[in-house]
Amino acid sequence: MTSPQPWARRALLARLGVLGAVLSVESLLPPGLAAARPLDLLRPALSTLARDTLNGLVAFVVPGQDEYSRAQGTPSASPGGLQAKGTDFLIEALDNFVPFPDQIARPLAAAFASGAADLPLPAVLHGPSDQQVSTVDKALRSLLQNDETVPLSLVIALLLNLVGSQVNPLSLHGAFASPFSRLSFADKARTFQLIEGGDANLVATLDAGLPQPLRQSLSGLLKFVGGALLEFCAFGVFSEWAVYDKKNRQLTARPVGWQLSGYQPAGPVEGWDELRGYYQGRTEVRD
């Protein structure tokens, strides 16, 4: 079995968003550190990549006054999901509370780093040296193919970037750290259409990385993940999570979701108890 060509690996790493994220972090590190300790470089870069990708997702679900909403072409005068700390909610929930089996997450993430090289890739990407690309590539394979727990937020980010860069290869360049966040609103919608529709090339390639008996089940899994991501993101934004003081069990400010929905907790709302008394002047009801 022959290894993927260097330019194919370069293009794949760029499509996943990994290459740009790593190089941006590398520029802040002392010379020589990246080559000596590539995994130390990769972990914070992947964390940055995951957060930036989910920023683009949150802005897609609930656009606001932020730069991600402006970049996708849907700025709003109202506060949006990022102001409601929707990204923090997603990362906290995906990495710590969502029950996603590690035996699925780890091989799926590893498939992004290896098998996905078979997907159609954009033209040659110039910039980083072959040595830099090789260092990042080996570090990514090492991280995703060992026994460490892979953060689900990273798996989601790799998926969104891989499919998003397929929708619009121009997203490989531009502002932000991730290709998905550079997409227009329409291109993000198309990305989710491909994920939920079970894009044949994507499914066939990634399915091979899953262990038995999970093979041939990726189409349904992707369809679930695509829909659940949108619903879960909206739930976090419109909840009180961002301003709820767990210690004192009270809100510290008016939630963004309340502002967007016009919710008035001290006034009449749907479901408000309005007991006007009992029929014909009765004062109680007996069986």
What global pTM score does this model have? Answer: 0.74
Identify residue 16 by its one-letter amino acid code.
L
pLDDT on residue 228: 87
Per-residue pLDDT of the chain (287 residues; tens, 9 = 90+): 444 454 455 555 555 655 555 555 555 444 554 555 666 667 777 888 889 999 999 999 999 999 999 999 999 999 999 999 999 999 999 888 765 555 556 556 656 655 544 444 444 344 555 665 666 666 666 666 555 667 888 888 888 988 888 889 888 888 888 889 999 999 999 999 988 886 666 666 666 655 555 556 666 677 778 888 999 999 999 999 999 999 999 999 999 999 998 888 776 666 666 667 777 777 777 76
pLDDT of residue 79: 94
> For the chain, how many residues are written?
287
Distance CA 241, CA 66 (A): 20
Angle formed by the axes of helices 86-96 and 152-167, nearest 10°:
120
Where in the chain are the domains?
A: 6-244
Closest CA to 160 of 38, 60, 42, 11: 60
Residue 251's H or E segment, with its range, is strand 250-251
Contact 153, 236 (CB under 8 A): no
Residue 8 CA to residue 279 CA, distance in Å, equals 77
Residue with tokens 């029950």: 99
Q: Is 62 left (phi over 0), alpha (psi -120 to 50) or beta?
A: beta
Q: What are the residues whose beta carbons fall under 8 Å from the beta carbon of 175, sequence distance 6 or more?
A: 67, 71, 182
pLDDT in the model for residue 192: 93
- End-to-end Cα, the chain, rounded Å: 79
pLDDT of res. 103: 55
Rounded distance between C-alpha atoms, residue 220 and residue 150, angstroms: 21
